[in-house]
Amino acid sequence: MLPPPRLHQPLRRVVVTGLGCASPLGGTAAESWRRAQRGESAAAQFDIDGASFVAARCGDLALDEKREKARVVALALRAAAEAVRDAGGLEAHAPARRGASIASGVGGLGDIVDAAHRVAEGKKLSPFFVPRALCNTAAGAVSLEHACAGPVQTSAAACAAGAQSVGDAFRLVQRGDCDVALCGGAEACVDEVALRGFARMGALSRDGAARPFDAARSGFVLGEGAAVLVLEDAASAARRGARAYAELRGYGLGGDAVHMSAPPPDGAGVLRAARAALGDARLDADLVDHVNAHAAGTPAGDAAELAALEALLEGRRGDDALVASTKGATGHLLGAAGALEACFAVLALRDCLAPATAHLAAPLPTSERVTLVAEATRRDLRVALSTSSGFGGTNAALVFSRADVSGDLGVEARVSVL
């Protein structure tokens, strides 16, 4: 039996060694990123029981869906399998040193609706109903599939859940609770109940397109999918010769405390989360080259987040920060959104390319400190910030740096794991 982790040990560096995606843009991280770069929209019109809706669905990914396996679980397992392969496997780490942190905002909502219909009709429920419906069923399935016998957890913090799951896994590896963690989010609720619910709130786009940061934005497009990152102790990754995409440097949270679904106009909660993440990373806002913003295309949310980013970057010296939102392409994946966008932030650093913001034709006015990216833009990106916000006033932020430039960011020199 392995001894428990040492208490009060120095914080460890944490790197990203694997990525996996099953998104409306494609069945792999590479395909999803390729289409996100170009701002290709996955939104499409479809019918449910005679009613017409627009949403971003994953399409035919040949998912392994069975009676005991909900769609959200199948999506999570597909993304996790790709991430593990991409990382070169988990065999270098004992099961007790592997963790899993997989988020879901609503879990098996479709299963709950179906069960309610069956009860109303006097029919028996499936014995698999409860495990299919739970929010943590994806995390449990991933931990079983990949023998993660260390910490296993789930964030259900609405649309900030995916980012929180990555941040929570970061803490687990950083503090020595495990040496490697599969983290991310999964969501599969493109159904009539969810669509009608968000429509009743006035949250969905009125013209069938998500237009982040655009003057004509009117709401988001609902999406589904999963994204998983492999986070690993940098020293362990170096010993096994693993490639690191990036280093996860900081994680921060901030609350709005003003309304269940509407942010404050100044984006104070997002600003607190971003400042907390940069403080955790011991980096100044001047070093942020790229932001993958939460911006889903809602009138109040996008304006509030932009105000927060302007405040964060106030007094910035040097080049402007390139701000993009990939939700115009992917739709809003709710509890999986922050995880998918964390993957895109990492890939933006790898490729030194800020992706396009789909449907951005009339950008909101900004200062010279911020550039809203309508088309993919190449630049020497070293630090990326990814922001996420959710109902209940919850906000999360993640700070990544390119793995080969850590020593150039004003902190102590570090050995590259590339």
Confidence band (pLDDT; 50, 70, 90) for 19?
very high
116 against 174, higher pLDDT: 174
The residue from 93, 146, 290, 294 that is catalytic is 294
List, for residues 356-369, the tens digit of each pLDDT value: 999 999 999 999 99
Does position 416 have pLDDT exceeding 60, yes or no? no
Q: What percent of the chain has pLDDT over 70?
A: 94
Q: How far apart are alpha carbons 55 and 51 in whole angstroms?
A: 13
Q: What is the mean pLDDT of the chain?
A: 92
Does position 348 have pLDDT exceeding 50, yes or no? yes
User: For this structure, is 117 an active site residue?
Assistant: no
Question: Whole-model pTM?
Answer: 0.94
Confidence band (pLDDT; 50, 70, 90) for 414?
very low
Confidence band (pLDDT; 50, 70, 90) for 316?
confident
The residue from 135, 332, 343, 359 that is catalytic is 332
Residue 145 CB neighbours (<10 A): 16
67 against 388, higher pLDDT: 388
List, for residues 69-120, the tens digit of each pLDDT value: 789 999 999 999 999 999 999 999 999 999 999 999 998 888 888 888 899 9
Supply the pLDDT for residue 418.
Answer: 28
Supply the pLDDT for residue 412.
Answer: 37
Supply the pLDDT for residue 66.
Answer: 61
pLDDT, average across residues 18-23: 98
The residue from 21, 135, 148, 159 that is catalytic is 159
